[in-house]
Structure 1
Amino acid sequence: MSLVTTKEMLKDAYDNHYAIGAFGAHNLEIIKAVIAGAEATGSPVILQTTASTYKYVEMPYMIAMAKAAAEQAKVPVALHLDHGESYDVVMECLRAGYTSIMIDGSRLPLEENIALVRKVTDAANAINVPVEAELGTIGGVEDDLELEESKAFFTDPIIAERFVRETGIYSFAPAFGTAHGNYKKEPKLQFDLLEEIQKLTNIPLVMHGASGVPDASLKKALDYGVAKVNFSTELKDMFAEEVRAFFKENPNENDPRKYFMPAREALIDLVKAKIVTLQK
């Protein structure tokens, strides 16, 4: 089938207290692993890229790979822009064929953030593409931007209600204790805060920085409106570890069809495990 939007998959997940896995699509091998893992579990799946990823891959290749994956997949597949930093970046992705968009104005003052997100939502709604946005600040490293976890701040539920209402977004990424990248220690997620945000916003919520979050915490978040969970760092770490291990055993191998295969197989198992965790 063709690429689909995230609207129906997130609505069903939100209504039925499970979540859709959204996986960083860094190259062809990872894309194929994500699709295979999703097919093995019979679950819809989201391929997502930051702007730096599609700039590295180059947009025509990124779109072609995602479309080919969706057309051959036995499950619904969406292509999502993660942390789009500007209106121009969002428009580039919409024109190219992305079926889901995140605009991230979380570093802007509130009024400027609302204005930017509203502008993006108006444009995306015209072609029926759902928009995700963030309020509060999630620590860690994302797309070469770094914020110390100690300087991150949580989302205010009252402001979140206004933000969602005035921007018209379809899904919302609150800051409630997760961080991008690798955790130095187990994150302390603020589930009371998440519960309050869900009650006031009543739209699908998104967990960023899920790599390294314990399975029990992932499952608990499903009770409070989390319907999309982002994974990227764990995929990159495992892919790199498997390639390094292969060359340690086979230092003279030069065939990428051989040294990428163990990495792909390992990622298939990881994707399957994450998706199963998100199914209550």
Structure 2
Amino acid sequence: MALVTTTEMFEKAYTGGYAIGAFNVNNMEIVQGITEAAGELRSPLILQVSAGARKYANHTYLTKLVEAALIENDIPIALHLDHGDDFEICKACIDGGFTSVMIDGSNHSFKENIEITRRVVDYAHERGVVVEGELGKLAGVEDDVNVSAEDASYTHPDEVEEFVSRTNVDSLAIAIGTSHGAYKFKPGHNPVLRFDILDEITKRIPEFPIVLHGASSVSQEYVKIIQENGGNLSDAIGIPEEMLRRAAKSAVCKINIDTDLRLAMTAGIRQVLFKNPAIFDPREYLKVGRSNIKDVVAHKIVNVLGSDGKA
């Protein structure tokens, strides 16, 4: 099966009351773990690549790994650029075979965000590629994205209609309380997603696909394993899964998950090396990390996204 865009995925997800998981990939084991889980559960899938991943693994290596996954798994897969921060990186990914790109103009003024998003949309649509835009600023750290709590801001519902109509964007990432990274909230703070903002946005742009970034739940099981095997991740807190499931039943058609994959991989590697310090074969510890990735993705598909059996 060839790569697909997210257009049909989102149409089915919106009407079906589920969301598509957008999982970040950085190497072969992560691609394998994600796609094996989705393939076995018959779930549509978005594999997304950040600017940091392209620097680390190289654009060509990543796209060829995804091509291999398409051969091994008969499910619809979209290849998406996560947090493209300028036209050039979006263009490179469009020209390089991606079927979806995100242009993150949230650091610009509203007017400038519209201008840069529209430029990417025009270029992408001429080539059959879809575009995700963003309004609002998520706090937290992920690769090159670093926004302090003071600079974060919720999406303003009164801006979404103009933004969507003037940019012709295909989906919209919004800020309703999610956050990038493993340290999303301070200890003792109860995570709250602003469903009132989501509901108002849905009223303003009905049947339009909404995206949630920074939506990892930060599995305390894996945090504990990391802590017990020489790591230091105290106070790592994520988004409760029941909130994400509620979002997936609404207008949210795409939920981004990255930190949970990093924790799963790290927990597996640390556990093997801490207990067996004589091991030096990378396959011995990477296969455990890969297995953890598969378990996490399977759990998310069934219990959070609700996308199992929807391929």
Please tell me the TM-score bracket, short chain as reference: over 0.9
Match of 1:201 in 2: 205
Choose from 150, 175, 187 the match for 2:191. Answer: 187
Match of 1:248 in 2: 274
Once the two structures are aligned, what percentage of the paired residues are identical? 41
C-alpha distance in 2 between matches for 1:146 and 1:51:
13
The 3-state SS of whatever aligns with 2:127 is coil
Superposed CA offset, 1:103-160 (max 9, x none): 0000101111101000100111011111001001011012233212343111111101
Match of 1:69 in 2: 69
Choose from 235, 244, 260 the match for 2:286. Answer: 260
Name the aligned partner's letter for residue 10 of structure 1: F
C-alpha distance in 2 between matches for 1:189 and 1:37:
28
Superposed CA offset, 1:45-101 (max 9, x none): 111011111121111111111111122212111110000010000000011101111
In the alignment, is the contact (CA less than 8 A) between 1:117 and 1:133 conserved in 2?
Answer: yes
The 3-state SS of whatever aligns with 1:158 is helix
- Which runs of 5 or more structure 2 residues have no equivalent in the other structure? 218-238
Match of 1:51 in 2: 51
- Which runs of 5 or more structure 1 residues have no equivalent in the other structure? none
Match of 2:260 in 1: 234
C-alpha distance in 2 between matches for 1:152 and 1:188:
15
Match of 2:216 in 1: 211
Q: 1:180 Cα shift?
A: 0.5
Q: 1:11 Cα shift?
A: 1.4
C-alpha distance in 2 between matches for 1:186 and 1:126:
45
Name the aligned partner's letter for residue 216 of structure 1: E
Name the aligned partner's letter for residue 219 of structure 1: R
Q: 1:186 Cα shift?
A: 4.2
C-alpha distance in 2 between matches for 1:169 and 1:201:
12
The 3-state SS of whatever aligns with 1:151 is coil
How do 1:2-151 residues align onto structure 2 when only pairs under 5 Å count? 2-151=2-151
- Asked if 1:279 is matched to 2:306, the reply is yes
Q: Which moved more, 1:82-91 or 1:210-219?
A: 210-219
Q: 1:173 Cα shift?
A: 0.5
Q: Which moved more, 1:154-163 or 1:249-258?
A: 249-258
Q: 1:220 Cα shift?
A: 1.1
Match of 2:165 in 1: 165
In the alignment, is the contact (CA less than 8 A) between 1:3 and 1:71 conserved in 2?
Answer: no
C-alpha distance in 2 between matches for 1:186 and 1:80:
32
The 3-state SS of whatever aligns with 1:152 is coil
Name the aligned partner's letter for residue 65 of structure 1: L
In the alignment, is the contact (CA less than 8 A) between 1:173 and 1:207 conserved in 2?
Answer: yes
In the alignment, is the contact (CA less than 8 A) between 1:33 and 1:265 conserved in 2?
Answer: yes
Superposed CA offset, 1:3-24 (max 9, x none): 1111111111012110000101
Q: TM-score under structure 1 normalisation?
A: 0.97
The 3-state SS of whatever aligns with 2:133 is strand
C-alpha distance in 2 between matches for 1:47 and 1:145:
19
Name the aligned partner's letter for residue 214 of structure 2: G
Q: 1:189 Cα shift?
A: 0.4
Q: 1:241 Cα shift?
A: 1.4
C-alpha distance in 2 between matches for 1:145 and 1:10:
25
C-alpha distance in 2 between matches for 1:279 and 1:238:
21
Q: TM-score under structure 2 normalisation?
A: 0.87
C-alpha distance in 2 between matches for 1:106 and 1:256:
39
C-alpha distance in 2 between matches for 1:186 and 1:33:
31
The 3-state SS of whatever aligns with 2:79 is strand
C-alpha distance in 1 between matches for 2:277 and 2:54:
31
In the comparison of the two structures, how many residue pairs are matched?
280
Match of 1:175 in 2: 175
Name the aligned partner's letter for residue 200 of structure 1: R
